[in-house]
A and B are shown apart, each in its own frame.
Chain A
């Protein structure tokens, strides 16, 4: 199976620190999509970003930024000046261009301490 690996199971930071969540994926496809979702304690998976395999531009949205490196099959997520409300489990996922299957990583539990 083509896996998505989030090696960091848990991360704890103090408020206002920057934090990077790592994601490495396997794929044999040339066309695929990468996603990040946030799961707060309420349980709902909140969509954060989607990138396709042809677009390696990094993206910034407020305090969030994403670094897509096709050469290393990585799609890392950085939160700048973290806040307590950022505490959640973050999931990286991959889908192929022609399938509905999302393969998720096992998630990274981020705790931001006040």
Chain B
């Protein structure tokens, strides 16, 4: 069956530009997560969606970050006015039985 997909796989952008990252969860999974993986910080939890709702956005690194989910399926993570410290791999996961999270391949973001 299809796993979690993410697009684009790589994104190179200039400082100050906005970027949008997309996640397609496993069909039927109602819970979706975003994480950031960077050399200095390891794997950080960013935000969780149950259906279309994100009850707690405090894990987002700054107010330049936002996320939404529509139709209980696709989610987008948007970073406005990108900074070099935003360079990282952004991973999406959807949750199945017994709280098991299944991860996508990630989007590698490079901010020049």
A pairs with B: no
Chain A: residues with CB nearer than 8 A to chain B?
Answer: none
